[in-house]
Chains A and B, each alone.
Chain A
Amino acid sequence: LTLPGKVIFTAIPILVALSAGLVVVIVLFGAPILHLLVANLPIVRFVLAATIILLMTIPTAFLIIYMEMKVIALINLRIGPDRVGPFGSLLSVVHGLKVLMKEDFTPTGADPLVFTWAPVVTYLASVMTLLVIPFAPGLYGQDFNIGLLYFFAVGGLSVVGLLMAGWSSYNKYSLLGGLRSAAQVISYEIPLTLSVVGLILLAGTMSLNQIVLNQSGWFTDWYVFQQPLGVLIFFIAATAEANRTPFDLTEADSEIVAGFATEYSGMRFGFFFFAEYVNVFIISALTVTLFFGGWNAPFPWPWPITLSLDPGGLGIGLLLLVAIVPLVLTIVFAVPFWIASSRIKTWQALLGGFVLANLFLGALVFAGIYIGLDWVAGVLWFMGKTYAFVFTFVWMRGTLPRVRIDQLMDFAWKWLLPASLLNLFVTAAAIVVVHK
């Protein structure tokens, strides 16, 4: 058998058996299972959200890795990845497969339990923070009333993963790297947390969903205009927190081996880097959520639109409509081509009309979805803003040189911390003055 043949001949019987078993299970126990699920809807919702978020991080990391390769290449006047997939977009997938296939090696003397769990802790600490981020109206894992606190608490766990990796590797350089990254991340944790306290005072809540709802309306309602210093401190501290350039001393690729990840190989190594890129997404998402209106559009739609479409009410007319509208639109859009120049042949005009009609219909459908489903609009705005920040992080990596470790620490303790305290006091004073 050929390789595809082997795959098909193995997979089809398995699939058939599994489907048959599934059908039997549904027929026999379908109703009780459904009742159980309905009775425990919050738990089911949570498990589903956690699964979706865990699965979502992988394509997100692939996308950001690809973005990083491509954007930095374009900044360097290179072309960048262009061989695998359209515009090289599958190269990061290939990288992922490559680390999957590499040997998973545990050095002699390493503590196998801690060594194995360190990447898991780091990765999960990143992924679990995504649970509280509202992607769209009603589209969030869990709406804690202490969501922001949860975010920082769980996000802080990644330090534990880094320390575990450094400690368990049985290598002094790994240990030094782990301690250094712990020092950096813990130092920047303080201005990062302090910079959003002013925002919490303004919002009066730590629920991220409520914070986003507070910013609805015009873009001038976003907290960035009330907390400009806070945004700046938050952004800088978040850059350091996510180990991004110019604060990527944790694994300064060009200077030291890989810090805490020196002894790692294969997919465990890959998990550290997945976690790094997921972190980039998460801090961008959090910046957008806290300061840039989350899933809110920058301007409210000036007049209300209610779609009261009832296609079923048309009866047989709906079928006629479906049959005739594309033809009519094609001809209507072909007319301008046909009139424009006598050198355009009829079939060319019709082809152009067909393409334009499809674009028009697609735009109509998109507009209908955008207006009708507010979570689609929310996700689009949220992702657009988030990826604008992801682009900024990549852009910074393509521009800024790395700082020294003493400059890094000086900056955190001598500048960011006083600045965040100043921001907090000024905000508090302003709130007191305004409310009196």
Chain B
Amino acid sequence: VSLIPGLGLAKGMALTLRRFFEPKVTVMYPEDRRDPPHKFRGRLQLLYDEWGTLKCETCFQCAQACPIECIDMGGMDTRGRYHVHWGAPETYGERREESALRRSGRTVPDPAYLPFASIDLARVDSILEEFDHDPARLLPILEATQAAYGYLPIAALKQISNRTGAWYAMIYGTASYYAHLRFEPPSATIQAAAIEAHRPSEATYRSALEASLAGGPGPSSPAGAPN
């Protein structure tokens, strides 16, 4: 059908003729002043508080609320750890080269996420299955994830983003907004791990001590222990 010469011309002419009779979209501005859109908040500006600190907490709520998606925020988060961005990666100003890589079909290294170790994602997947992969139920999903891992690993957040289709920035924004959600293991666990790393034989001491206090036979001279 597309080989008929002039068919495209006829289609185009028909389209413009239809447009000719359609209602017009012009706003007669000086006479007709329309109300601004529902979520219009005036000029975009980042505000500072009385101590000179930026008030923006990188919660992305402004970007979420923007009806025409003109707000694109990104960069490091407030604690200087994670790259987060609202919107599709192709729109990031500082990631043009990456987007070129992506368009050419090559894998894109993402150094911002390299330090974060991969985790066993099976638990995230089962949680998502339970919540039907529904990004509208993001808060319960995040709470369940935190219950499963003890905190919110970045790899888990990325997995949620991949599986639900919600933008990572939205998930990050939600996760960083609520005080009871955390991005790192709780401090008791961290302390235990730090002590373990600093004094690796303490557990051995303790078990030996407990064994001797209990009266049973314990190891007489723990290996590596100072005299």
Please give the residue numbers on chain A whose beta carbons come within 8 Å of chain B beta carbons, in ascending order: 71, 74-79, 395-396, 398-400
B206 proximal to A (CB < 8 A): no
Return B23 CB to nearest CB of chain A, in Å. Answer: 8
Contact A399 B13 (CB under 8 A): yes
Q: Which residues of B1-51 are within 8 A (CB) of A?
A: 9, 12-13, 15-17, 19-20, 22, 24-26, 28
Please give the residue numbers on chain B whose beta carbons come within 8 Å of chain A beta carbons, in ascending order: 9, 12-13, 15-17, 19-20, 22, 24-26, 28
Contact A395 B19 (CB under 8 A): no
B16 neighbours in A (Cβ, 8 Å): 75, 395, 398-399
A76 neighbours in B (Cβ, 8 Å): 19
Of B13, B24, B25, which is within 8 A of A396 by CB? B13
Return A333 CB to nearest CB of chain B, in Å. Answer: 33
A400 neighbours in B (Cβ, 8 Å): 9, 12
Return B53 CB to nearest CB of chain A, in Å. Answer: 48
A74 CA to B22 CA, complexed, in Å: 8
Contact A77 B22 (CB under 8 A): yes
A396 neighbours in B (Cβ, 8 Å): 13
A118 CA to B58 CA, complexed, in Å: 66
Given A396-B13, A399-B12, A400-B12, verify A79-B24 contact (CB < 8 Å): yes
Given A400-B9, A400-B12, verify A77-B17 contact (CB < 8 Å): no
* From B9, B20, B24, residue with most partner A Cβ within 10 Å: B20
A74 neighbours in B (Cβ, 8 Å): 19-20, 24
Contact A77 B25 (CB under 8 A): yes
B28 neighbours in A (Cβ, 8 Å): 79
Q: Please provide the 4 A-B residue pairs with the shortest distance between their CB atoms, ordered closest to farther.
A: A399-B16, A79-B26, A75-B16, A399-B12
Given A395-B13, A400-B12, verify A78-B24 contact (CB < 8 Å): yes
B9 neighbours in A (Cβ, 8 Å): 399-400
Contact B26 A75 (CB under 8 A): no
A395 neighbours in B (Cβ, 8 Å): 13, 16-17, 20
B25 neighbours in A (Cβ, 8 Å): 77-78
A79 neighbours in B (Cβ, 8 Å): 24, 26, 28
A398 neighbours in B (Cβ, 8 Å): 16
Contact A75 B20 (CB under 8 A): yes
Contact B20 A71 (CB under 8 A): yes
Return B216 CB to nearest CB of chain A, in Å. Answer: 91
A400 CA to B15 CA, complexed, in Å: 11
Return B32 CB to nearest CB of chain A, in Å. Answer: 11
A399 CA to B28 CA, complexed, in Å: 25
Chain B residue nearest to A396 in the complex (CB): B13
A396 CA to B16 CA, complexed, in Å: 9
Chain A residue nearest to B6 in the complex (CB): A232
Interface contacts beyond A74-B24, A399-B9: sample of 8 additional A-B pairs, CB < 8 Å, sorted by A: A71-B20, A75-B19, A77-B24, A78-B25, A78-B26, A395-B13, A396-B13, A398-B16
Return B14 CB to nearest CB of chain A, in Å. Answer: 9
Can you list 5 residue pairs at the A/B interface with Cβ under 8 Å? Answer: A74-B19, A75-B19, A78-B24, A79-B24, A398-B16
A103 CA to B25 CA, complexed, in Å: 37
Return B52 CB to nearest CB of chain A, in Å. Answer: 49
Return A408 CB to nearest CB of chain B, in Å. Answer: 16
B19 neighbours in A (Cβ, 8 Å): 74-77
B22 neighbours in A (Cβ, 8 Å): 77
A396 CA to B20 CA, complexed, in Å: 12
Return B6 CB to nearest CB of chain A, in Å. Answer: 9
